[in-house]
Chains A and B, each alone.
Chain A
Amino acid sequence: PAFGLFIFTIARDPLRIIILIAGAFFWLVSLLLSSLIWFIAVKASDPQDERLQKGLLIFGVMFSVLLQEAFRFLYYKLLRKAIEGLVALSEDGCSPISIQQMAYVAGVGFGLMSGAFSMINLLADALGPGTVGIHGDSQLYFLTSAFMTMVLIFLHTFWGILFFHGCEHRRWWEIAAVIIMHLTVSGLSFCNPMYVGSLVPSYLLMAAAAAWAYLLSGGSAQNLRRFLLCKC
């Protein structure tokens, strides 16, 4: 579905593709830095201690979430500058792309990259021979991974919109909400393999974020109804 989003909404406009790739790049850099920190921490600690390793992992995850949000903020700053440049250069005085569209595309960029990194090795292995969950792990590993990745991609998209909106209007609580949501979702994934604990709340959060982003982007229940009724 995320790829469908890409095809339908982004692939037309070259500027959006560039923003998308740049967004993916920023996510990548944040991942790099967070894994650097984790790596150093692991090397500096005792590899035998299970609990410590688990604790370090949790720390790494949280830190990575914070770094991702920090990079989202940096990206926002960059895009602001770019928009000013574009406005100055365009012929009719208004930018060819609005900040909301940029927010959307940036979110998709982040999401796609994070999804790709989460899923792609899994997919490659899935092509090969093997049985899922043969050692007593859950048999639904692939399915849940797929769903979790999808929800994460969508969440990143919505968080992008919310985050940029919060930055635009200087509503710090919106930004804080995004960060808290991100931390929550990551934290919930610690409940794996008890999938009920992680998937369901994530989807609920995603629905909430979707509604919020939709409202922020100017939609409303009216629009929605009109859209649905007109189409069918």
Chain B
Amino acid sequence: MITFMNNSDSEEEPCNERTSLMSAESPPVPSYQDGLQASEAGEAQAHRKRRAGSSRGPNNITGGEMSGSGVPVRESALESEEEELTLKYGAKHVIMLFVPVTLCMIVVVATIKSVRFYTEKNGQLIYTPFSEDTPSVGQRLLNSVLNTIVMISVIIVMTVFLVLLYKYRCYKFIHGWLILSSLMLLFLFTYIYLGEVLKTYNVAMDYPTLFIVIWNFGAVGMICIHWKGPLQLQQAYLIMISALMALVFIKYLPEWSAWVILGAISIYDLMAVLCPKGPLRMLVETAQERNEPIFPALIYSSAMMWTVGMAKPDTAARGPSQQTWDAAEDGREHLRSPSHAESQMSETRSPVPTRPITSLEELEEEERGVKLGLGDFIFYSVLVGKAAATASGDWNTTLACFVAILIGLCLTLLLLAVFKKALPALPISITFGLIFYFSTDNLVRPFMDTLASHQLYI
């Protein structure tokens, strides 16, 4: 049996960042209420709080960052106004997340349906050592559960390792790890993917052209994700690498293991984010304590960066770091509202206290965005892709899972707006998705088939 050359941890890296929505503002809120006067002190305080908020840990921070609209002349009324704004913009945020998730799923489903490579079984990852080709159902079930245990423990180990590294400030190591993993994703997987697509459509391409294309794609991707680049391009790259990763998972995870793993991952996510001793939560809190931005990795941000607009030297200086920060590789989920944009705002504001408040508000409002970890993208796409690949009812099941996941995302965002702290984004959506997949495949499909054969309409 060929095992996929799953060598480095960097491959596991993407899977490690669990989905957590990060809320950036929990600490700021209490101080927020009292310190709000139109004074420098208040401004600085708000500024500081916002920075604290923005430097929340990568994982479970939901961006209920309403406190972000830190205009200095805040009274407590302002906070409620912010809440309104939050919920009012809530719909917009949800859409800003719907679109990339939908795009990712579409890419994955389209590839699964057309390129046969991804549905052929060609071996398994070393992370799932037990085979599922066993004759009896019980044995198969046992093997898949064992596979899941292995996979989840690998993920837990990786996450704890990452948290430890972060705690002991081995930033270089982490950066190197992330860069390595994104390198591998961008080059190797793209090469394989392109090769398969070309094979399917019987298009010939010579090696030099291929080399140039992949080199360009990979290089621009590295720059965009880790350094700076236009937001749209960053988002596009993140979607692409999520899709690639999801395709790899779909191909190399055996059937039942995949489903059990999906279920287990969402449970793990729930626990890791919400339990006080969970690794992700510790990561978040550590980052908060240190007032640092999360590392430029695994989050997808939908915020609009207008960094260029403000003609402030420190803004310009901060621009790049903000953007890299936004760039997410694979990741934890941060569902975060404007935090970093706002921290930027606040930073630029403090040097210029005379800045008119209204324009600031407008700008801040535009900047509100939401962040979602890449791990979420990947697992959503894995679910939908598996539904497309293995369900015999084809499109109905896929469509049902798609709607279920979107609704789960909506609900999660709603909870985010209500709780304003880090939330795991996986559990609700994956649960809905799983329920709908199994029920649609087994219950709805015979019904619809019979209806269609008689051409009856309900």
Contact = CB atoms under 8 A, between A and B. Distances in A.
A192 B92 contact: no
Size class of the contact patch on chain B: 35 or more
Given A21-B407, A124-B395, A57 B454 contact: yes
Nearest to A25: B407
26 contacts: A18-B91, A18-B94, A21-B98, A21-B406, A22-B410, A25-B407, A28-B400, A28-B403, A28-B404, A28-B436, A34-B458, A35-B444, A57-B451, A57-B456, A64-B458, A89-B87, A96-B88, A116-B399, A117-B396, A118-B448, A122-B452, A124-B395, A145-B455, A152-B457, A185-B457, A193-B455
B396 A90 contact: no
B439 A32 contact: yes
B458 A186 contact: yes
Nearest to B449: A121
Contacts of A149: 457
B443 interface: yes
Q: Which of B403, B444, B455, B458 has the most CB of A within 10 A?
A: B458
A138 B310 CA distance: 67
A25 B403 contact: yes
Contacts of A100: none
A121 B394 contact: yes
Contacts of B452: 118, 121-122
Nearest to B95: A14
B230 interface: no
Interface in A86-145: 89-91, 96, 113-114, 116-118, 120-122, 124, 141, 144-145
Given A57-B456, A192-B456, A35 B443 contact: yes
Contact of A118 (B88, B98, B440, B457): B457
B458 A114 contact: yes
A148 B457 CA distance: 8
B320 interface: no
Interface in A150-186: 152, 185-186
A213 to B, nearest CB: 20
B447 interface: yes
Interface residues of A, number: 49
Interface string A36-80: 101100100000000000000100110011001000000000000
Contacts of A64: 458
Nearest to B410: A18
A15 B93 CA distance: 10
A14 B458 contact: no
B87 to A, nearest CB: 5
B134 interface: no
A192 B456 CA distance: 7
B403 A124 contact: no
B446 interface: yes
Given A120-B395, A121-B395, A38 B447 contact: yes
A141 B436 CA distance: 29
Given A14-B91, A18-B410, A113-B403, A121 B456 contact: no
Interface string B409-452: 01000000000000000000000000010011011101110111
B393 interface: yes
Interface in B334-363: none
A148 B454 CA distance: 13
B444 A61 contact: no
Contacts of B456: 57, 61, 186, 189-190, 192
Interface of A: 13-15, 17-18, 21-22, 24-25, 28, 31-32, 34-36, 38-39, 42, 57, 60-61, 64-65, 68, 89-91, 96, 113-114, 116-118, 120-122, 124, 141, 144-145, 148-149, 152, 185-186, 189-190, 192-193
A162 to B, nearest CB: 18
A89 B393 CA distance: 43
Nearest to B455: A192
Contacts of A42: 446
Given A28-B436, A117-B399, A186-B458, 17 more contacts: A14-B94, A18-B91, A18-B95, A22-B410, A32-B439, A35-B444, A35-B446, A89-B83, A114-B458, A116-B399, A121-B395, A124-B394, A148-B457, A185-B457, A189-B456, A189-B457, A192-B455
B314 interface: no
B84 interface: yes
Contact of B404 (A15, A25, A122): A25
A114 to B, nearest CB: 7
Nearest to A30: B458
A118 B407 CA distance: 21
B99 to A, nearest CB: 10
Contact of A24 (B83, B98, B403, B454): B403
Contacts of A38: 447
B436 to A, nearest CB: 7
Contacts of A24: 403
Q: Which of A121, A186, A192, A193 has the most CB of B within 10 A?
A: A121
A85 B98 CA distance: 22
B95 A17 contact: yes
B455 A57 contact: no
Nearest to A144: B455
Nearest to B445: A35
Contact of B444 (A25, A32, A144): A32
A190 B450 CA distance: 13
Given A18-B410, A89-B88, A120 B399 contact: yes
Contacts of A152: 457
Given A65-B458, A152-B457, A192-B455, A121 B396 contact: yes
